Chains A and B, each alone.
Chain A
């Protein structure tokens, strides 16, 4: 075989191999259960699979070669169009990072479909050559969420009625309405009443969560003094710190700190963070609370030297019903809704919540709201 025919042979083999790889990637792309779209380095659609076409109601020929952010329109929850620069596909290009987000895509007929998307930039060496977006229709997830919230709301109301009767009659007995109780009977009565209280609190939290998820969490801003609010919450929680022998230190400001915000929501968030710190700190531990003006807002800091959050669970801590494994072993009474509520409240008040934590060393939570 001459040298020339040897080179031709090698090239033919390489081309065959490339064709085979292309066929494999085409088959993989076509068989994805989610919608998938690839673009070139200028954001023009180069490939689109049948799931994406079916979901969006387009023909392949209507999209190939079109600029992605213009061809497929995205809107936010309120129906406002998301500009091309804000689209994940553009940001993934600019930042060179993977992006996962939820939004609504408009089909060819203009119907909004909620989707969960992931965009990854494609690099050849250091050079960006395109992007791939995979997306999934989450309408069913939304519907299930709505039904779940409705169920929680109805169930909670129905549970409250018999619970009110138990509570009212137990109070009547405890206050000697049908004769005075012995010390032992009184102790049992107190157990009944505190259990009813616990159940009432769980129901109230469930109702709050279902209300948030139904989008009914209305913010009614008023001017309040957060220094005083913090003192009140700490006073209310002082009994639980005494029971556990925990030192609760509040570095109160010397002056009132006035903020225009929703008093009920902020109280719920502060109370959740401080009571969590007490709950997840062992006996003889300490909890330090402080508030300060920072970045045109108010920052609450709650530091404890308690159980901490295991590193591998830290990204789930604000998820609904989530409870870290190290605290589940120690305490069985939590609902896993407290921090979820705090996060929802932070979002509703246009604030932020974050933390640093080390297992068995403690946790520091930060809650910031604009002033």
Chain B
């Protein structure tokens, strides 16, 4: 294209002025105006598109946040419903993590003839969940629980001034605990009880020790004779109640 002012042939549609004489390029003017106009429209449209995309992606991310929050709420709600199981899980972990120290504690308590404390530790800490070594103490702990009750009720029987129970109630409680003790005690020699048979020497000694203490206390404080003592292992709760009642003078 030629410049209308100086005739220079090398000017293009992009040149607003002639590069040689500086005259206005009339032919390119319309083209340049159009280009400026379309360039402005393009930028406006582009920014609008960008704004829409950003707005949509923000909307989508907000939806994702709401969905995640809803899921978290459901998870926490389920946990709330099952919180006792969660608490149990924590206890389980604590017992398993400290199994060796609990084993030593059980062994020490057994060696010191501290059967009631052994039973309380065993039951309140649910030590049977910590594996076979502690599961061995299961029967002993059950027996010790009843042993503790028998000792306590016999003490109250001889100290009625501080007892919360009547003599009848005490006899009933002693009969219950003696019966429960000997039910568990009878399993000690039965080999077909996989968990309860074949007890180790230390557990058997503890069981026999509790047995002899119970028998001597029943003889000393409840006036049971040697013949009675020989039979109490196989007596029912009712029979024990009647016998104890007769010996302490409640029943004729």
Decide whether A and B assemble into one complex: no
Q: Which residues of A contact B (CB under 8 A)?
A: none
